[in-house]
Structure 1
Amino acid sequence: MERAILVSRCSTNESRQDVSRQSAELAAKYSGQYIIVKEFSYYESGTKNDEVNKEILNFSINNNIDHIITLEISRISRKISSFALFLESCNSHNVNIIIDNFQLHTLLPCGQPNSMVQTMLSIASTFSAMELSLIKERLQSGRRKFVAGGGVLGRKMGSVKTTTDLLKDHSDVLKYIRQGQSVRNIMKLTGKSSGTIQKVKKLFQCTD
């Protein structure tokens, strides 16, 4: 059987997405067709995940992976340029990308790039970037309306937490930091963003 990896990504502010659900759906669907060698499941913005994509590519190339399977194109990246580079690297190393929601394969059975699919994915990545832009604009519009109605953005007076409070709130993160776990592993284990983990790590180092 051919070898495959699963890629599941979710931003921390995506209420309709969940990495465990994505992974479970993909595993249930493809485990009978391919040997699932590894699952990359993580929380990170689709505009800031270039480093993770490099790790995915390196793993695929070094472990003779035939297929990278993901739920939709935005799970790889929401940046057009980043997705294009990712796709180009996969093509050059004969790694097929399977986009599950459209049932698209980037390589033909003979190993050549599927030009029709590649064109479709280029268009889809453009729409993915546009979608993110619209989401940001709606959020900004909501904030402007809130402020215009007398609302105040930011923390409420007296709500600033002490270092002890923050470390207590994120005791799960602190536990894995003490174990020497990497930021990416802690993200998987706790479901918290890299920014939160870095903040806790910095606070812990200052109090240690």
Structure 2
Amino acid sequence: MEKAIIISRCSTNENRQDVSRQSEQLTSTYSNQYKIVKEFTYYKSGTKNDEVNAEILDYAIKNDVKHIIAIEISRISRKISSFALFLEKCNENKINIIIDNFKLHTLLPTGEINGMVQTMLSIASTFASLELSMIKERLNSGREKFIRENGYSALGRKTGSKKDNTKLLSEHADIVKFLKQGQSVRNTMKLTGKSNGTIQKIRKLVA
């Protein structure tokens, strides 16, 4: 069997996108096709993981790994430039990237570049980046709405205090995500492990 690496990444420690779930799913799907020699499972923003991606590439090249598997493109990177560089390095070293949710392979069985798939992934990386921009835009919109209607931060500080609403929303991005999905406060508590009071504060900002 040819060697493969699994990448499982999340931005926050949340149950819905738990790295172990990603890893288990990919192992179950691909262990009968490839020899899984290493799993890179970690929590880090998809815009700040260039160092980890460099480590992954270094390991793959040094250990003659032929396939790198991720559940979706954003698990590799949410930055268009970073994914493009990662893809270029893989092409140079004849390493096939497998994106599980679309069952896409960047290289053909012959080892040649799969031009159509790589074009599709370039477009997909753009959407992954846009998705993150939209999340940030919604956070900022919620913050502005709260300030406009209330004038105080979720912690009772006046607008303009050092720990402003933007930082609070950023720190609790997992709560924001679940509330935007329509999850109840109780379910959000279970999914994030955070208190009712914290979730109520965030809900006021994003309502």
Count of aligned pairs between the two proteins: 157
1:32 deviates by: 1.1
Q: Does 1:133 align with 2:133?
A: yes
Partner residue of 1:45? 45
The separation in 2 between residues aligned to 1:13 and 1:80, in whole angstroms, is 24
The separation in 2 between residues aligned to 1:85 and 1:155, in whole angstroms, is 42
Partner residue of 2:191? none
1:12 deviates by: 1.2
Partner residue of 2:70? 70
> Aligned AA for 1:68?
I
Structure 1 12/39 Cα, relative in aligned 2: closer, same or farther at 3 Å? same
Stretches of structure 2 that go unaligned for 5 or more consecutive residues are 158-207
| SS of structure 2 residue aligned to 1:38 | strand
The separation in 2 between residues aligned to 1:13 and 1:20, in whole angstroms, is 11
Percentage identity across paired residues of the two chains: 69
1:148 deviates by: 1.9
What TM-score do you get using the length of structure 1 for normalisation? 0.72
1:154 deviates by: 6.3
Stretches of structure 1 that go unaligned for 5 or more consecutive residues are 158-208
The separation in 2 between residues aligned to 1:20 and 1:156, in whole angstroms, is 38
Conserved? CA contact 2:13–2:43, under 8 Å: no
**Cα deviation per residue 1:40-59 (whole Å; 9 max; x = unaligned)?**
00001100000000000000
1:16 deviates by: 3.6
The separation in 1 between residues aligned to 2:149 and 2:37, in whole angstroms, is 53
**Cα deviation per residue 1:73-125 (whole Å; 9 max; x = unaligned)?**
00000000000000000000010000000000000011011000000000000
| SS of structure 2 residue aligned to 1:94 | coil
What TM-score do you get using the length of structure 2 for normalisation? 0.72
Partner residue of 1:87? 87
1:14 deviates by: 6.1
